[in-house]
Amino acid sequence: MKPAPFEYHAPASVDEALALLTRYGGDAKLLAGGQSLVPLLNFRLARPAALVDLNRIPALAGIREVNGHVAFGAMTRQRTIEFSPVVARRLPLLTEATRWVGHLPIRSRGTIGGSLAHADPSAEYPTVLTALDGEVSVRGPRGERVVRAGALFETYLTTTLAPDEILVEVRLPAMPEGAAYAFEEFSRRHGDFAIVGVAAMVVGRGERCTAARLATAGTGPVPVRLRAAEEILERDGLGEAAIAAAARRAAEIVQPDSDIHASADYRRNLTRVLTERALKRALARAGAR
Ligand SMILES: Cc1cc2nc3c(=O)[nH]c(=O)nc-3n(C[C@H](O)[C@H](O)[C@H](O)COP(=O)(O)OP(=O)(O)OC[C@H]3O[C@@H](n4cnc5c(N)ncnc54)[C@H](O)[C@@H]3O)c2cc1C
């Protein structure tokens, strides 16, 4: 199927792109990597009057370290992130999560900003943003604002961004030196969206845990931060019993829906299994260093 007709614009700056969004009054769509938008256009599930292509705005791409954070221009490709030495050093959880995103050709076009703005609750980047409590900068006609991970995702495929706003930058706090981490996921075929995914990071000394970060993909309309499970690890440490208790708590926190891919019960059980697996793998790898 082919998309319905649309006007095409390729602005050279964010200001120009914002003016175009205002001109179309909510009837234009931003085009980033096109890996989610183009299928929606082809199936005519989206029929915007215009596409505003962000690919000719060089200022929107790139990775830099700033004040203990790693900042990504919204148009930074997933493939660039996968092979970035800065990301491998400062955010290895993101490097690992990126390998779960679709296939190589998808990662070569898909962008971090597009993935977050698309807000698929089974996607890896929203889950990592939630686990690490990152934030995004958003520009609109009323200026720039910062949105924390917990306030970005509203429901399935919906963020709190207005139609005339552009996500311009993503910031994640650099992981503490020596943090243990793992991204675990279950999907039926390699490259499919997760049925459930779990992002885990723990900072500890021996069996003591000074900070834990856990979040899930595929367990409801938005990614879920598993704060009550994190608290078990921070209180009781990183031994077998505490990990098993945290994983059980994780399964109680999530409220997944049933769909054609899996029942809610199956997803809840996967949450427990993958949380335990992620924590154990993270610690085993950290111990091996
Ligand atoms: C076969 C297949 C398998 C896939 N598997 C996975 C997977 O396992 N995990 C996963 O996470 N993703 C997966 N994807 C999706 C892929 O990661 C996309 O790259 C991503 O979801 C969207 O990024 P994009 O840059 O392509 O955005 P686009 O498709 O260009 O845009 C997506 C949406 O975000 C909006 N948007 C884009 N950029 C901005 C911005 N800067 N500000 C505001 N709004 C913006 C667009 O208007 C559109 O509504 C898969 C895609 C395919 C085709």
The predicted-structure confidence for 77-101, as pLDDT tens digits, reads as follows 999 999 999 999 999 999 999 999 9
- Among 30, 36, 144, which residue has the most ligand 1 atoms within 8 Å of its CB, making it the best to mutate? 36
pLDDT of residue 1 exceeding 90: no
User: Is the CB of residue 29 below 6 angstroms from any atom belonging to ligand 1?
Assistant: yes
Parallel/antiparallel/unpaired status of strands 135-140 and 166-173: antiparallel
Q: How many residues does the chain have?
A: 289
Contacts for 204 with CB less than 8 Å, ≥ 6 apart: 180, 210, 237, 238
**Model confidence pLDDT, tens digit, residues 187-226:** 998 889 999 999 999 999 878 999 999 999 999 999 999 9
CA of 20 to the centre of ligand 1 (A): 21
- Predicted TM-score (pTM) of the model is 0.97
Q: What atom of ligand 1 comes closest to residue 111's alpha carbon?
A: 25
CB-CB neighbours of 240 under 10 Å: 10
Distance 77 CA to ligand 1 centre (A): 11
> Whose CA is closest to 71, among 134, 140, 115?
134
229, with CB counted inside 10 A (0-12, 13-18, 19+), is buried
Q: Tell me the average pLDDT across 156-185.
A: 97
